[in-house]
Amino acid sequence: MQFKLSTMITKPDFQGEFTASILAAAASPDIISFAGGLPNPVSFPIPEMEAATKKVLEENGVVALQYSSTAGWPALRQWIAKRYETMGVSGVKPEDIIVTNGSQQALAMVGAAMLDPGDKVIVEDPTYLVALQSFHVFDPEVLPVTINADGIDCDMLAETVKANPDAKFAYLIPNFQNPTGLSYSQEVHDKVVEIFKGTNIMLLEDNPYRELRFAGTATDSFGADLGEQCCMLGTFSKIVTPGMRIGWICVRNEELRAKLLSYKATADLHTNIFSQMVLAQYLADNDVDAHIEKTKVLYKAKAEFMMDCLRKYLPADVTFTPTEGGMFLWVTLPEGITAVDLYRKGLEKGVAICPGDPFYEVQRNVRTFRVNYSNSTDEAIEKGVKILGEVCAELIAQA
């Protein structure tokens, strides 16, 4: 039997189909995979979570197992609101926070609340592929703006904003951007603020990796300067555990917040309240900053080791962008070789990468690819990068 599916759900999904095929191929236990973006399970606070779970059930079990409110558990929203002080944003209230099923759900919520077919959305080029997927559902016109070594190209951004004052929002990842691992400099940060000030374009700031900085200095959130014009996404997936699927969106515009809550109530009523309460208990009983510091030490060692291997084993005309945090490195191949070529040949020899294609709105057959360093052993990193270097050399010789 063939059901009559909606046009929305059956339209092409390049990002989803491309990525699904890559991750499926990379799922084999015989493959060294740098293709995903998994936190390292060594960082998961399992004993502390066990204690928090036991305490929640003993002290508040009925509430933890019952339906709850859409906005989220008050104690968790209070913690998140207070956390924004570390990002330079003061005055955030618990009622500004909506706890979501990962920050990924917040992307869909914003799309549903703000986008009609043909509406304009500004994004970095390249950008987070799931953001593109989420926005594409609503059939907008996506306006990509090049990202440089120090952040988004401000001249191009200013031109785009000027030419498209009716754009609904701009989606930016200012710290260890996925996929490039790049961060905005203070100069670029300040220029972005000035470009958006005085416009009616909402800035949707996604900051999943900011707390994973192991070198350099982070800029403050755009919300410090732009107030309610900036909506801020966050997640516990990178700093505590991804399996709980707890993220949030901070919305200080009351009208938009009400619409987002209305949409979420229809979509799932509320985020898993049991997980919210366990997480809030964990945060109350433990030093999460000390936990994050341990994770940063681990990731710093992984990143530096992978960068050393890339320098050692990749041909000289294959370049990469050094990073000061996050979970990814961005590699560029020489002219005449595509990342898909490398992916296919690498997979034949037991190594998987993520080609850059799904991170771009328009460009295809690109020369860039992303590698993840956070979730591989040192042995796997060295072996995998050495194989990639050999495959690169073969492709260069054939080009």
Q: What is the mean pLDDT of the chain?
A: 96
State how far the Cα of 395 lies from the Cα of 336, in Å rounded to an integer: 9
Range of lowest pLDDT (6-10, 55-59, 86-90): 6-10
Spatial neighbors of 29 by CB under 8 A, at least 6 apart, are: none
What is the structure's pLDDT at 397?
94
Residue with tokens 């009609």: 116
Q: What is the pLDDT of residues 124-148, one digit of tens each?
A: 999 999 999 999 999 999 999 999 9
Residue 115 sits at φ, ψ, to 5 deg, of -110, 130
R_g of the chain, CA atoms, integer Å:
21
Does the pLDDT of residue 18 top 90, yes or no? Answer: no
Q: For residue 189, what pLDDT band results from cuts at 50, 70 and 90?
A: very high
- Cβ–Cβ < 8 Å for 232, 207: yes
Q: For residue 194, what pLDDT band results from cuts at 50, 70 and 90?
A: very high
| Parallel, antiparallel or unpaired: strands 202-206 and 230-235 | parallel
Does the pLDDT of residue 23 top 90, yes or no? Answer: no
Q: What is the pLDDT of residues 258-304, one digit of tens each?
A: 999 999 999 999 999 999 999 999 999 999 999 999 999 999 999 99
Query: Of 120, 125, 126, 161, nearest to 140 (Cα)?
Result: 120
Q: What is the mean pLDDT of residues 51-66?
A: 98
Q: What is the mean pLDDT of residues 349-370?
A: 97
End-to-end CA distance of the chain: 48
What is the structure's pLDDT at 21?
81
Query: Of 386, 394, 389, 384, nearest to 26 (Cα)?
Result: 384
Q: For residue 39, what pLDDT band results from cuts at 50, 70 and 90?
A: very high
Q: What is the mean pLDDT of residues 194-199?
A: 98
Does the pLDDT of residue 25 top 90, yes or no? Answer: no
Domains and CATH numbers, the chain: 11-44+290-398 (3.90.1150.10), 46-285 (3.40.640.10)
Percent of the chain clearing pLDDT 90 (strictly above): 94
Residue 325 tokens read as 């945090």
Strand runs labelled E in 153-229: 169-172, 202-206
What is the structure's pLDDT at 20?
87
Q: What is the pLDDT of residues 362-379, one digit of tens each?
A: 999 999 999 999 999 999
Distance of CA 368 to CAs 329, 358, 361, 382, 392, Å?
10, 11, 14, 20, 13
Percent of the chain clearing pLDDT 70 (strictly above): 100
Q: What is the pLDDT of residues 311-327, one digit of tens each?
A: 999 999 999 999 999 99
- Cβ–Cβ < 8 Å for 387, 349: yes
Q: What is the pLDDT of residues 173-186, one digit of tens each?
A: 999 999 999 999 99
State how far the Cα of 213 lies from the Cα of 175, in Å rounded to an integer: 9
Q: What is the mean pLDDT of residues 75-84?
A: 98
Q: What is the pLDDT of residues 380-398, one digit of tens each?
A: 999 999 999 999 999 999 9
Does the pLDDT of residue 157 top 90, yes or no? Answer: yes
